[in-house]
Amino acid sequence: MNATTLEKMRKMKFFGMFRSFKTSFESGRKEDYTADEMIATLIDAEWDDRQNRNIERHLKNARFRYKAVLEELNYHTDRNIDKNLIMRFAECQFIDKHENILITGSTGIGKSYIASALGHQACSQGYRVAYYNTAKLFGKLKMAKADGSYLKDVAKIERQHLLILDDFGITPLDGPSRAALMEIIEDRHGKSSTIITSQVPVNKWHDVIGEKTVADAILDRIIHEAHRLDLKGESLRKKSENSPELTRI
């Protein structure tokens, strides 16, 4: 009877229940449960299993650059990181409120790590997240224009609760990249959140985007009521190369 029940659970893809029930009767603990307790145990096991698989799927789809966690963040005073602010971000209310986060600072200071850590945190809470290197994203979208998959790619970006654009502004935007950014930001404005990291100060982004009218429209949607993190200090990457015991984050 137990074997038949397990087989039905497996075929119905109740993998959490399957493992919990199999463990309980193999260990002889099944008799210790009342009927209500056994049902509750099986339901909890299935719930946890589905939640974990959902998180794993979100993490895989996000394609993060770093496997980053907020618990390992370095809050040294010379980095200008407000721990209380980061902890508020960790609650992901900024996503529910459709707010943006702009992270700026010199190269190697930890911008991408913080953005990725916030993205991981969002995935753990069930949000859909996509991470892109900005230059590579625009290159991909140019190719998508040629092969007819552009609308599909842009629609996928629009569906994400949180979009992370890393290394924005490394080079000035050309016409197609500027148009793609305008479309992405317009689609997401007031409906979802974006984290942007950049070595370029926010007050120089207008020059990066180019074409005044379009730049004004994009920046108005990005910057309005956005949270800002302006990181300070020396490159953590250089520090770690010179002193391997130092953290990079």
Query: For 136-152, what is each residue's pLDDT tens digit?
Result: 999 999 999 999 999 99
Identity (one letter) of the amino acid at 162? L
Q: To which residue do tokens 């698989």 refer? A: 53
Contact 62, 119 (CB under 8 A): yes
The domain locations on the chain are 2-61, 63-242
**What per-residue confidence (pLDDT) applies to 27?**
74
Q: Identify the top-confidence range among 21-35, 68-82, 182-196, 226-240.
A: 182-196
Contact 153, 132 (CB under 8 A): no
Token reading at 183: 């479309």
pLDDT one-digit tens code per residue, 190-246: 999 999 999 999 999 999 999 999 999 999 999 988 999 999 876 665 555 554 444
Between the CA of residue 74 and those of 109, 115, 233, 236, what are the distances in Å? 11, 14, 12, 10
**What per-residue confidence (pLDDT) applies to 249?**
59
Token reading at 154: 């842009």
Across the beta sheet with 162-166, the strand order is: 129-133, 162-166, 193-198, 101-104, 227-230
Q: How many residues does the chain have?
A: 249
Contact 89, 17 (CB under 8 A): no
Assign domain 63-242 to a CATH class: alpha beta
For residue 28, what is the DSSP state?
A: T
From the list 132, 145, 150, the residue with the least C-alpha distance to 194 is 132
**What per-residue confidence (pLDDT) applies to 244?**
44
In sequence order, the 6+-apart residues with CB closer than 8 A to the CB of 25 are 2
For residue 93, what is the DSSP state?
A: H
**What per-residue confidence (pLDDT) applies to 28?**
64
